Amino acid sequence: MTDLDHRFGVKEANLVVRYLKLEGITAENRDKLVSSIDQIIGIDSVSYDESAATLKMAYDASHCDLDLFERLIQAQGADLSPGIWTRVKEGFYKYVDQNVKDNAEHDPYCNNALPKALPGSRKR
């Protein structure tokens, strides 16, 4: 896939997929939550699986972060599941998102010049 296969603002190299187990989701706030997340620049896709009570998101981690999504979820009257596995995944997701963001901002440096001969060496 290329960057053209994704929505505006999403680069293939920075694309991550996240699954968040939620609590307090109703039919009314589910639709509002999905539509509010879907409008953010950098979101590639978002869906909610009712049987597993899981929100699935694909987004560019250099533009979005998990804290933004948590605020949107809480604004709709829902919250992340208090389970230990959800909290472990949340910490891991935040760590990886920060690494993706840092790597996207990094400007690589390469010096292709040949090394100079050291003083006193035989090669010239």
Residue pLDDT, tens place only, 43-59? 889 999 999 999 999 89
Q: Half-sphere exposure (CA, 13 Å, Cβ side) for 76?
A: 24
* Res. 63 pLDDT band, cuts 50 70 90: confident
Average pLDDT of 92-119? 79
This prediction has a pTM of 0.76
Domains recognised in the chain with CATH numbers: 3-104 (3.30.70.100)
Percent of the chain with pLDDT over 90: 47
Distance, in Å, from the CA atom of 94 to the CA atom of 89, rounded to the nearest integer, reads 9
* Res. 114 pLDDT band, cuts 50 70 90: low
